[in-house]
A and B are shown apart, each in its own frame.
Chain A
Amino acid sequence: MTSLTNPLVQVENLSKVYEGRRSLANRLTGVEPFSVRAVNDVSFHVDRGEILGLIGESGCGKSTLGRAVLRLHEPTAGRVLFDGTDVTALSAGALKDMRRRMQIVFQDPYASLNPRSTVADIVGLPLRLHGLAASRSEMRDQVVGILEKVGLNAAHLDRYPHQFSGGQRQRIGIARALISHPEFIVCDEPVSALDVSIQAQIIQLLLELKDEMGLTYLFISHDISVIGYLSNRVAVMYLGEIVEMGPASDVLARPRHPYTQSLMSAVPDVDAPGHHQRVRLTGDLPSPLDPPPGCKFHTRCPLATDACKHAAPVPEEVSPGHRVACHRLHENLSVLETASRAEGC
């Protein structure tokens, strides 16, 4: 914890736009090709040794954001500073070296391992690519070392991915991400494809490895309970934008954005059944092909006014480190106080 003032990852105004090809037919008929703003002007930072939880519905752009941060998908605009270096401006060679320091754990443990490679080849690949092992035997030793850390062993070295269960495969994926001793890991929904019983094991494993290896996580999930369990800070994403971000205890206990409030109210309350006040959202997530103007949430927001339809809200700090982008922030406060008062009795 040498530099709390200098975050490990600093994301500045990051955008990712996917554009359709401008075909000849489109040009002749004057039809504009489609463009999807998967990530729109997003800024945040991740401190060393912290877990930033990124939460949002399917299709809100959270996976794209995670990949754009690692430059797996080339960002359209904005910068990503990793330990002070602008990742978005790196040359191919420098980016390759940087990849040793930042890794990703994927969602689908079935698709993320090459079915034609053995565990030894899969987990040893980063060592080979970055020349981190002097000999074959040293490589094998390192692979066995990391496999034991994730709960597998040397007997698994020559097996193929299809011979493992989902949880085991995810352990292999984690071993591959960690063998080059990276500092920053993007966990892209690493447990959502697993059974609930296995989820807990993998989350526990990730937490243990974080302490042991001094890691920093950007943890992407659509599961509030998972995010709430392991995050230091939370960012809530809606249609490519971060609508609320702050310390986990603050955001999840006292959500200030109506979207976060509705997400939180969707979590069943075991302690006080019946007292639960559900903020229901109507309608679907609008298509990112044709996002609504103004505040993107206004089509589903219970508090929306005419003003929300025209101007996009500017993030406002409501308490230290807790920022919310909502026009109705101050009107919403009263609603919340009554809610928390009801919770108190």
Chain B
Amino acid sequence: MTVADIDAGPVAVASGAGQTIFRRNLARFAANRLAMASVAVVFLFVLLAIFAPWIAPHDPNETDLFRRLQPPAWQAGGEWSYLLGCDALGRDILSRIIYGSRISIFIGAAVIFVATTVGIAAGLAAGYFRGWVDVTISRLVDILLSFPYLIFAIGLMAMMGPGLVNIILALAYKEWVIPCRVVRGETLATRELEYVEAARALGASSAHIMAREILPNILSPVIVVSTIRIAHVIILEASLSFLGLGVQPPTASWGSMVADGRAFILGAWWVSTFPGLAILLLVLAINVASQGLRDAFDPRFQE
């Protein structure tokens, strides 16, 4: 090479060698203490859900009419082996909350997984191909968005009947429009960039361009939006269960536990309150964690 190699040596740009933007953002996220504490809470709930049979002190469905509406341990009449008291059928509330976390977390994760997969595919197609593909998908999104979410889900549940798979489908039917809109917008912006054009100039197929050139570059906002939406889906699932359209008894679900305790709220506050607190804690933790994710991954929040 006769060319003067003034600029040919490797330059260390701010970040260290081998560090990607993604890793830098991840490090930024890890430095956020509140977000990390929230991640720990979420992680704790996930562990509870996975190891429920070993952690739960009692069988969640075992009724004992002698312990009907037994108060929490620290109140008069309480017992330390039934820490959070018992419900109207004498079932241990703590055990039911632990088992209930399985339903909430599983449905939240499953709905977001299905919805994000469908949303990414639809959003990429709409944003990349444009034309009638975009018109069809975008109008469908507009139509779905015009329904109130809960009413839509209730309608679907009424049609399909209750059950775990049906809840996931009922929620995912509408949930996919959220990642779809994000992906479509990002794709529209990214497809005009020169590296996408370069891939086309090299002879790359549409599938390659969408999957390898565009998708990796728009994933950050999708991840952020999806984590925020998990919290939303958990609340929706609890709402459906509260209304009796969710997981059917005797399976423990936080929403149905809150509903069960409603009749005794004045006399036995613990039956509704503890599952309610569980919903609050998990949703709050997910929200704070996803907020931290957004702060770390969205360039607009970076100095």
Contact = CB atoms under 8 A, between A and B. Distances in A.
Contacts of A108: 194
Contacts of A299: none
- Contact size range, B: 20 to 34
Contact of A165 (B7, B20, B200, B217): B7
Contacts of B204: 125, 129
27 contacts: A72-B197, A72-B201, A97-B203, A103-B201, A106-B194, A111-B193, A114-B195, A114-B199, A114-B217, A115-B21, A115-B195, A116-B216, A125-B202, A151-B1, A151-B3, A151-B8, A152-B8, A163-B10, A163-B13, A165-B11, A167-B7, A168-B7, A171-B8, A176-B202, A204-B3, A208-B2, A208-B3
A201 B7 contact: yes
Interface string B189-228: 0000111011111111000100011001100000000000
Given A100-B203, A151-B5, 15 more contacts: A106-B197, A111-B193, A111-B194, A112-B194, A113-B195, A114-B195, A114-B217, A152-B8, A158-B18, A159-B17, A160-B21, A163-B13, A167-B8, A168-B8, A168-B11
B12 to A, nearest CB: 8
B4 interface: yes
A163 B11 CA distance: 6
Interface centre among A129, A163, A180 (most CB of B within 10 A): A163
Interface string B39-57: 0000000000000000000
B6 interface: yes
Interface centre among A108, A114, A173, A176 (most CB of B within 10 A): A114
- Contact size range, A: 35 or more
A205 interface: yes
Interface string A153-194: 001101110111111100101001000100000000000000
Contacts, number: 108
Contacts of B197: 67, 72, 106, 112
A129 B203 contact: yes
A162 B21 CA distance: 9
A198 interface: yes
Nearest to B206: A92
Contacts of B2: 204, 208
A130 interface: yes
A87 B17 CA distance: 43
Contacts of A328: none
A323 to B, nearest CB: 30
Contacts of A42: none
B227 to A, nearest CB: 20
A93 to B, nearest CB: 10
Interface in A77-130: 95-97, 99-100, 103-104, 106-108, 111-117, 125-126, 129-130
Interface centre among B15, B20, B217 (most CB of A within 10 A): B20
Interface in A124-138: 125-126, 129-130
Contacts of B198: 104, 106, 112-113, 173, 176
Nearest to B24: A162
Contacts of A167: 6-8
A8 interface: no
A126 B194 contact: no
Given A111-B194, A151-B5, A129 B10 contact: no
Contacts of A116: 20-22, 216-217
A197 interface: yes
A70 interface: yes
B3 A198 contact: no
Nearest to A95: B203
A115 B4 CA distance: 27
Contacts of B7: 165-168, 198, 201
B288 to A, nearest CB: 28
A274 B99 CA distance: 90
A158 B213 CA distance: 17
A108 B197 CA distance: 12
A112 B195 contact: yes
B11 A114 contact: no
Given A111-B195, A114-B195, A201-B4, A130 B203 contact: yes
A159 B18 contact: yes
A182 to B, nearest CB: 10
A253 to B, nearest CB: 29
A180 B204 CA distance: 13
Interface in A206-225: 208
